Each structure stands twice: as C-alpha cells, then as structure tokens.
Amino acid sequence: MLCSTDPQGHTTEVHSLLNSGLDMDFFSLLVYLLFYCIHVGAQVKLFPEKLTILRGEEARLTCSTSNTRWTVMIWLLNGVAVLTISKENGVLPSINANVTAEKSVVSTGDSWVLILKHTERYNQGQVTCDLQDIDRKTASLFVQEKGSVKVSGDKLAFMGQLALFECHAEGWYPQPTLQWWMNDKKVSQAEYNISSEESGRSLFTVNSNLSVTAAKSSYVDCLASVSALPTPLRSRVRLTVEPCQQEGIRFDQSGNKRGFVAEVTGGKDNLGFWSEGSTDAEYTEWTMETHSNMNVNSLHKVPDVVSSSTLSLHTDSPAQVCLSEESSTNVRRITTV
C-alpha cells in the first residue's frame, strides 16, 4: 500500500519511499503522490460546510471520522468550546443547555450531530469540530430573521385611472428581497421603487410603492423573503376596477353608488328642482330641450329630456375623472305636473 497513516493521521509509506535512493523524475512523482495522500487521508468531515437558518430554528451539523483511534471530539462555536464528546462515554455534561449532540445513524464511521436547539443571532459565525490530536474542520453558520409584510388596503378605481399601493416590510435580517405580483404574475422591478433603513438592532425595514393603471380587477401581492425562508411572506389586496358607464355614477365617502341625475336633482323626479348645495363641479353643461313651436302654456311644463355633454365621476381622489365613452349622455325622465 503506497499511502498509510499512523494514529496521528500522518502519512508513513511515502516518507520511507522518499528516503530511498531514487532518481529525480521518480522523486517528483512521489512528491505528487504525497500531496494526493494528504488530501484523501483527511481524518474529519464536517457538513454542511455552510448552513443558513432562521432565528429560533434548530441548527444541525454532522462531524464524522474514519479514524477509529480517536478519543475526544470537541465542538467550538466562534472559538469557544460548547460541547465535548467522549468516544467511550458519549456526550459529556455541559453548562450550555441549548447545545447537545446525538450519534448519527446515517453517516459511515463514527459520526456525531451537533444540535443548537434555539439559534440566536449571536450564534452566527464559525462552528468547529476538533478531533483531538487528529484533525479539525470548520463550517459557517448564518442566522437570519423573519419580519412582517403588509400592503395598504383594497383599492377602487375607474378604468384608466392610477391606483397607488404601498408595501411595508419590517423586522428583517439581512435586508429582505421585496417583489410585487399582480394576478400571480411578477411585476417588473422597473415599475416600482424600494427604500430601506436599518434599526439599532441591525434589523431592516423596506418600503415600496407601486402605481398601476387600472385596466381590470386584479389581486395585488407584495412578497418579502430572505434565503432561509422556504416560502416568501405574502400580503394580498384587491384592486376593483369600475368601468366607465353611459349613466353617470358617483361614489360618496361611504363607497355607495348614487345615480348622477338623482344627485343633481336632489333625489326628485321633478327636474325643475335644484339644490342650493349643487356646484358647477357636478356638471359641465345642462341644456333643456323644448319644441320649436313653444307656446305660453309650455313655459309651465318641465322638459322631459336632460342632456349632459360630459359627466364627472368622483371617487375619494378628487384628481380622478372618468369620462363616458360617448361625448354626451341623455337621461330621459317623464314628469307629470
């Protein structure tokens, strides 16, 4: 056998060959084999080499060795010994109740699993398995925090109007990835802005605004995530789009629909009634149609047709205006005087 190890894990056979009287070419080959033997003769394996979890979750790392002559295995967290395992007696008592270990039944050879029961941010760093006088390996542990995500409430808009949505993600570490989705389709990052800030506890808050042109009723989602989170956190709201109609509709502050003509006429069938509270903002132009051969008696009659060239539809945003598809809308009322 070309490569063999002593109890301390040192290669022996290659050393004896190097001491023999060999020519230079064969000596170079043996040097190559020496490095090869050192590599394949690793005494300790620690996996995973990188572990990322959420704060409060359990962290598990496995240390295994094929060397049957080991006696003591020490686990260190950021250079501080947190647990000792004896080959003969198993896990030794520890003052740290949050750290324990169990023998692995999956890995070959002698394998032990280090368990951090409830990880905290200060546990983040280097985790080392030290097989005393034989070998040691180190892995990296990353601890993240899951915060919350919330989108401003449901929106109601007329077709063609802009609807603004705000997303607030708070209490994350590291800074979370934030995305907008509409009807389960990802929105391009060019369509929204993102701003973030870090608090004293190194937790991040991310805010984002999305402005969309109302085309059809849709679901709007804001998703926030970090790499340790299997599924992003989601906050969903509803965008309801009201089409422009031929007969005007007004939304009052309570969200109730009211007929535009009824609004203008104060709720009376008689179109001769006019409320003192009415303003020019509620209509553009009203004309009264009469017969061309009007007589004196017709002056006391109320016209049966009211014509509006443009009707304004109001929501809670005074800047939003919805125009009907036609340039004017006729509303006919039959009134008996």
Confidence of residue 25 (pLDDT cuts 50, 70, 90): low
pLDDT confidence of residue 124: 96
Residue among 21, 7, 15, 20 nearest 34 (CA): 15
188 and 232 in one domain? yes
115 and 166 in one domain? no
Domain boundary among the residues 242, 270, 299 is at: 242
155 and 140 in one domain? no
322 and 308 in one domain? yes
Mean pLDDT value of segment 62-87:
94
136 and 53 in one domain? yes
The answer for residues whose C-beta is within 8 angstroms of residue 119's C-beta and 6 or more apart is 53, 55, 56, 57, 58, 59, 141, 143
Counting beta carbons within 10 angstroms of the beta carbon of residue 69, is it exposed (0 to 12), middle (13 to 18) or buried (19 or more)?
middle
Domain boundary among the residues 210, 242, 274 is at: 242
Domain boundary among the residues 215, 242, 269 is at: 242
Cα–Cα distance measured from residue 298 to residue 301, given in angstroms and rounded to the nearest whole number: 5
What's the CATH number where 87 sits?
Answer: 2.60.40.10
- Tell me the backbone φ, ψ of residue 296, rounded to 5 degrees: -65, -40
11 and 56 in one domain? no
108 and 73 in one domain? yes
Cα→Cα distances 86→92, 102, 185, 256, Å:
7, 12, 55, 75
179 pLDDT above the threshold of 50? yes
200 and 187 in one domain? yes
Confidence of residue 244 (pLDDT cuts 50, 70, 90): confident
* Phi and psi based region of residue 109 (left: phi greater than 0; alpha: psi -120 to 50; beta: remaining): left
Mean pLDDT value of segment 62-80:
93
275 pLDDT above the threshold of 70? no
- Stated as kind and residue range, the H or E segment containing 159 is none
Q: Say how many domains are in the chain.
A: 4
211 and 263 in one domain? no
Mean pLDDT value of segment 132-141:
95
175 and 249 in one domain? no
Residue 166 lies in domain: 148-242
312 and 337 in one domain? yes
137 and 214 in one domain? no
CB atoms inside a 10 Å sphere around CB 218: 20
